[in-house]
Structure 1
Amino acid sequence: MGARLGYQLKHAFFALEELHAEHLADGPVSVRELSVLLLLDGREPESQQQAAERLGVDRTTMVGLLDSLETKGLVTRQPDPDDRRRNVVVLTAAGRAALKAAKAASDRAERQLLAELSPTEAAQFRRLLARVVPH
């Protein structure tokens, strides 16, 4: 069973989630909130429904994540300048700073997960995953 790809991927994911939780523990965002900040970074503002679809979460979950991030001052919901009937979600300056710190923590977690691989092997592993996982 341990040699099955699904088993290995699942346990690698669980290990990475634990490392993320450990490395993000002192910061302002959780792993799930980091996903939202990464999604919003460097893109045109999106509605919370669009963001939920891109993250693959239901609207209720997205509302909870955005409410938490908004309470922390990391995102804001604003009327879309092109369509006043729609609100878009935008990173605040504090959100960009939190994202920078959380990305550094996430990078540390990933390096720790891949520590048994050489830098060349880690890069190859990432390239191979990119080939089999559609973006």
Structure 2
Amino acid sequence: MSDSSLAEMLRSRGLRLTAQRQLILEAVLDLKHATPEQVHNAVREVAAGVNITTIYRTLELLERLGLVTHTHLSHGSPTYHAAGPDQHVHLVCRNCGAVEEIEPELLGPLADQLVDQRGFLVDIGHVSLFGVCGKCGEQK
């Protein structure tokens, strides 16, 4: 997203584009999958005065604007990543912590079955599957 389109989106909601908001969005986009603490560390490298409260509030704002979304990849803080039309499922290795993305179509049959049997609509963007990645599995 360009600076001008982000600025326009914020202005349309009565908000302004601040350097902190820009840095936080850039950190999420650069890191791909990041906790608020990881975003904070990345932003502090450029702007030491940004506190963790600002990170959390800005991530919430960016999520309300539809620019980022979050998922839970562990028992800790949520993990943020860029939002977009291309939703994906997260594969999380319990051994090494690696996170991979797979196409949501792989869960299509399960999602269809849940709708048919229970009327439940799966939010694919928040799905995380935990297990052991191929690399760690080979080591055992």
TM-score by length of 1: 0.44
TM-score, normalised by the number of residues in structure 2: 0.42
Which one has more relative contact order, counting CA pairs under 8 Å at least 6 apart?
Answer: 1
Q: Judging by fraction of residues, say which structure has more helix.
A: 1
